[in-house]
């Protein structure tokens, strides 16, 4: 097993990644859902074999932290028992599919897209030609359920649409640096036909890899010329290319711009007309202890809940048998440190695990993030904060209203920025507990400017 360990790459269950607190093992759910029995066993496994910390990722996966190599077989046995372990590393690394977490639940969706997701998983698992795709190459499947995934990135996107006559079909989009490029539509709903379309587009990407290397590019990284060849190949897959009136999808005649995820992802009890309520719970920083997971899952099982849905915005959704079980479950969730209040300041902050969990980090980011959140209860000036332990910025790729990057002597701060942009000021570590008081006057609509550079001195 030692030879399969990788550092600095997307981890899997069969190919974990080394970090400062041990090995990170990533669990990819099937069609976006985990049974509560599986979640309970994984949480107990995290206590027995890891350090008891579980993370939700931006790809709607679950990570077990703090494992050592000798304990991996124990976790593998748990995953195998719940059909969550792939047969090979190559198949595992390409099984990257996100779908609307409330598909099959939201009555506004156009169809239940889970069978298509399951068929795509099977193709990725068994078609060895697709195993050349890079480990971060991903697919998004949209059913029309809300909240949707229009602001999440994926190399290939399949979106349900509806024409003027009420017929349901699909359109396909390809990822570009700043847009989604919509390349075609089809109203042939044979499942294998749809999977053939997606697989053949992926194979077209693989065909554009340089002859002298096995490295396949991401869709967004293809040169204009190579992308044009992939786009041409993709368009050849469609028997019908039309401009229908579509529900729950961006106009096909335009390219969608990237934007911040809005507050359209409610927390707490969500009720639908079809009497299928949902309880939505957020995890601060996307992380939670295994013991808190156990407390939540045991309470949910007692309420008759059988599964949970994961999302890329680090919120977990529990389909409820009735809204009557929501109050006691909300109480149990609050006691277990899950968040059901959208105004909780912790939810405005993205923070990586930081030191000592990550060997690249120069600060205990989550400790500092909690100190910052404690100051934010009465401020509305700051809408989003990114606290990063190093310049990689793993916790957030989008700009934040305030970004803090750990340095040897404090946090480099910039406004309306990502970690790659030049900082305006330096905040010494001993001033983090007063950072809002010190910095809020600076946080206006202006962008980074050398004229505003300063240092907050202790």
Q: Report the chain's terminal Cα–Cα distance, integer Å.
A: 49
Residue 102 lies in a domain: no
Closest CA to 277 of 335, 328, 326, 205: 326
117-169 tens-digit pLDDT? 999 999 999 999 999 999 999 999 999 998 899 989 999 999 999 998 899 99
pTM surpassing 0.85? yes
Write the CB contacts of 264 (distance below 8 Å, at least 6 apart in sequence): 146, 147
Q: Which pLDDT score, from 0 to 100, does residue 379 have?
A: 67
CB distance 124 to 91 below 8 Å: yes
Q: Which residue has the tokens 């202790």?
A: 458
Alpha carbons 420 and 388: distance in angstroms, whole number: 11
**Domain check: are 444 and 407 in the same one?**
yes
Residue 104 lies in a domain: no
Phi-psi region of 90 (alpha: psi -120 to 50; beta: other; left: phi over 0): alpha
Q: Which pLDDT score, from 0 to 100, does residue 3 have?
A: 38
Encoding tokens for residue 55?
């993370």
Task: Provide mean pLDDT across the span 414-423.
Answer: 91
Which of 361-370, 419-428, 433-442 is predicted least confidently?
A: 433-442
For the domain that residue 132 is a member of, what is the CATH number? 3.30.413
Asked if residue 183 has a cis previous peptide bond (ω within 30° of 0), the answer is no
pLDDT at 1 over 70: no
Alpha carbons 447 and 449: distance in angstroms, whole number: 6
CA distances 431 to 159, 182, 356, Å, are 47, 48, 21
**For the chain, how big is the Rg over CA atoms in Å?**
22
291-325 tens-digit pLDDT? 999 999 999 999 999 999 999 998 999 999 999 99
**Domain check: are 128 and 267 in the same one?**
no
Alpha carbons 308 and 314: distance in angstroms, whole number: 13
Domain termination residue (choose one: 279, 309, 335): 335
Closest CA to 137 of 59, 253, 244, 31: 59
Q: Which pLDDT score, from 0 to 100, does residue 10 have?
A: 79
Cα 129 to chain center, whole Å? 26
**Domain check: are 137 and 248 in the same one?**
yes
For 436, the domain range is 345-455
Alpha carbons 52 and 300: distance in angstroms, whole number: 20
CB distance 100 to 149 below 8 Å: yes
For the domain that residue 65 is a member of, what is the CATH number? 3.90.480.10
Domain termination residue (choose one: 204, 222, 257): 257
Residue 381 lies in a domain: yes
Closest CA to 317 of 346, 349, 281: 281
**Domain check: are 267 and 250 in the same one?**
no
Cα 348 to chain center, whole Å? 16
**Domain check: are 248 and 355 in the same one?**
no
Give the DSSP H/E element, type plus range, for residue 34: strand 33-35
Write the CB contacts of 80 (distance below 8 Å, at least 6 apart in sequence): none
Residue 289 lies in a domain: yes
**Domain check: are 248 and 284 in the same one?**
no
Q: Which residues of 87-106 are buried (b: 16+ CB within 10 A; e: fewer)?
A: eeebbbbbbbbbbbbbbbbb
Residue 149 lies in a domain: no
Sign of the dihedral defined by the CA atoms of residues 231, 232, 234, 240, in that order: positive
Alpha carbons 94 and 88: distance in angstroms, whole number: 11
Reduced to 3 states, what is the DSSP secondary structure of residue 442?
helix
Q: Which pLDDT score, from 0 to 100, does residue 442 have?
A: 59
Of residues 169 and 10, more confidence is placed in: 169
**Domain check: are 78 and 203 in the same one?**
no
**Domain check: are 394 and 268 in the same one?**
no
Residue 85 lies in a domain: yes
Q: Which pLDDT score, from 0 to 100, does residue 249 have?
A: 41
pLDDT at 23 over 90: yes
Domain termination residue (choose one: 226, 257, 288): 257
Residue 148 lies in a domain: no
- How many distinct structural domains can be found in the chain? 3
**Domain check: are 386 and 316 in the same one?**
no
What is the DSSP annotation of 54-84?
A: EEE-TTS-EEEEEE-GGGHHHHHHHHHHTT-
Q: Which pLDDT score, from 0 to 100, does residue 382 have?
A: 81
pLDDT at 13 over 60: yes
Cα 336 to chain center, whole Å? 22
- β-pairing, 97-99 with 53-56? unpaired
**Domain check: are 319 and 419 in the same one?**
no
Task: Provide mean pLDDT across the span 386-394.
Answer: 93
Closest CA to 37 of 72, 83, 85: 83
392-402 tens-digit pLDDT? 998 888 899 89
**Domain check: are 326 and 353 in the same one?**
no
CA distances 375 to 62, 228, 368, 412, 434, Å, are 30, 50, 11, 19, 8
**Domain check: are 209 and 279 in the same one?**
no
The partner residues of 168 in beta bridges, in order of sequence, read: 162
CA distances 184 to 157, 159, 205, 362, Å, are 11, 11, 17, 47
Residue 96 lies in a domain: no
């Amino acid at each position: 097993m030692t030879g399969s360990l990788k550092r600095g790459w997307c981890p899997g269950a069969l190919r974990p990644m080394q970090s400062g607190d041990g090995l990170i093992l990533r669990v990819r759910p099937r069609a976006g859902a985990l049974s509560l029995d599986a979640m309970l066993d994984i949480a107990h496994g995290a206590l027995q074999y890891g350090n008891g910390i579980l993370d939700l990722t931006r790809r709607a996966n679950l990570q077990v932290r703090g494992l050592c190599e000798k304990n991996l077989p124990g976790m593998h046995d748990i995953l195998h028992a719940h059909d969550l372990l792939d047969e090979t590393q190559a198949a595992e690394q390409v099984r990257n599919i996100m779908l609307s977490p409330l598909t099959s639940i939201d009555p506004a969706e156009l169809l239940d897209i889970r069978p298509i997701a399951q068929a795509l998983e099977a193709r990725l698992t068994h078609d060895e030609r697709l195993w050349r795709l890079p480990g971060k190459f991903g697919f998004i499947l949209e059913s029309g359920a809300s909240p949707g995934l229009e602001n999440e990135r994926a190399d290939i996107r399949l979106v349900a649409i509806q024409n003027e006559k009420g017929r349901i079909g699909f359109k396909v989009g390809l990822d570009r640096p700043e847009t989604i490029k919509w390349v075609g539509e089809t109203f042939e709903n044979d499942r294998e036909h749809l999977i053939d379309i997606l697989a053949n587009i992926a194979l077209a990407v693989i065909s554009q890899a340089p002859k002298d290397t096995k490295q396949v590019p991401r869709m967004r990284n293809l040169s204009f010329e190579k992308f044009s060849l992939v786009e041409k190949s993709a368009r050849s897959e469609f028997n019908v290319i039309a401009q229908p009136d579509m529900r729950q999808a961006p106009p096909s005649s335009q390219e969608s711009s990237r934007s911040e995820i809005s507050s359209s992802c409610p927390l707490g009890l969500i009720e639908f007309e079809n009497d299928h309520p949902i309880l939505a719970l957020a995890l601060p920083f996307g992380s939670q202890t295994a013991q808190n997971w156990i407390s939540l899952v045991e309470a949910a099982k007692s309420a008759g809940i059988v599964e949970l849905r994961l999302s890329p915005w680090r919120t977990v959704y529990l389909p409820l048998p009735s809204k009557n079980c929501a109050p006691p479950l909300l109480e149990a969730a609050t006691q277990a440190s899950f968040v059901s209040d959208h105004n909780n300041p912790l939810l405005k902050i993205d923070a990586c695990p930081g030191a000592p969990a990550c060997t690249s980090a120069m600060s205990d980011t989550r400790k500092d993030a909690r100190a910052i959140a404690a100051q934010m209860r009465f401020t509305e000036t700051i809408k989003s904060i990114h606290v990063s332990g190093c310049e990689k910025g793993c916790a957030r790729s989008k700009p934040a209203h305030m970004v803090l990057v750990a340095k040897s002597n404090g946090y480099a701060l910039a406004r309306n920025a990502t970690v790659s942009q030049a900082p305006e000021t330096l905040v010494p570590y001993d001033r983090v507990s007063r950072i809002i008081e010190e910095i809020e006057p600076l946080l206006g609509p202006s962008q980074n400017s050398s004229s505003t550079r300063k240092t907050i001195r202790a």
